Amino acid sequence: MFQIEVLLSPALLPYHQVQNKHVIVVDILRATSTIVTAINEGANHVKTVLNAEEAAELKGEGYLSAGERNGAKMEGFDMGNSPFECMEGKVLNRKLALTTTNGTKCFNAAQEAGAKTILAGSFLNLDATVDWLINHPADCIVLCAGWKNKVNLEDTLYAGLLTQRLIDSNVATTEDDGALMAMDVLQMAGSDFADYLKKSSHYQRLSHLHHHEDMVYCLKQSTIEVVVGMKDNVLVKFL
């Protein structure tokens, strides 16, 4: 049996031991949903960068620049952070340099903290991620991207569902209050996640930016069968 911890905010990372643990970074709306979609759509890899300058430098190496701040596409970038911008062959065989308000920073933080493995978690590839973790048993940390170090509902909901799925598979257990709280949110959400999340801050924020279709898409469960993780400092399909 392995242990699961849930960090409801990246600000909690310094207070947890990370070495030798799998870290599942989750930013449902929308960074990890977009990353998983891009890899599933044939992107060569996604490199998470901290700012626009890093993304601009990588354009010279053939990268597409992608990203948002406060949900809006960054000026001068090839694309924003919508999963729909990764479809219809737009990223096939392409390298993406992605920077977002919260999610991409978590990948860099998990690397610096010495994680054993770093995965991109999303509802879209939930089953594939659960199966991978079952087949690669080790203590896990679910790192919720939240919003500017504040807790958010959608990442917490994912963390509760992933935790519950691993416990129900008889491979994991938890004594972590963050994980227990996340599972309580899962219980409160019921079966209609979209209805439950209408009150969430980022759902409201993205609605004002007319990204409603992104929210509907990012809440779909297990429509993508790839596992996405960090290898040689970029996010790729784990075979």
Binding residues for ligand MLT (CB under 6 A): 27, 29-31, 68, 71, 81, 100-103, 145, 206
Tokens linked to 135: 């087949």
User: Which class for 69: exposed (0-12), middle (13-18), buried (19 or more C-beta within 10 A)?
Assistant: middle
Write down the least CB distance from residue 145 to ligand MLT, Å: 5
DSSP label of 120: E
Write down the least CB distance from residue 63 to ligand MLT, Å: 18
Nearer to ligand MLT, 165 or 211 (CB): 211
Nearer to ligand MLT, 29 or 172 (CB): 29
Distance CA 124, CA 216 (A): 11
Residue in 202, 193, 223, 194 with CA at minimum distance from that of residue 37:
223
Distance CA 233, CA 236 (A): 9
Write down the least CB distance from residue 17 to ligand MLT, Å: 25
Tokens 């309580």 identify what position?
Answer: 184
Nearer to ligand MLT, 71 or 178 (CB): 71
Nearer to ligand MLT, 204 or 233 (CB): 204
Write down the least CB distance from residue 191 to ligand MLT, Å: 25
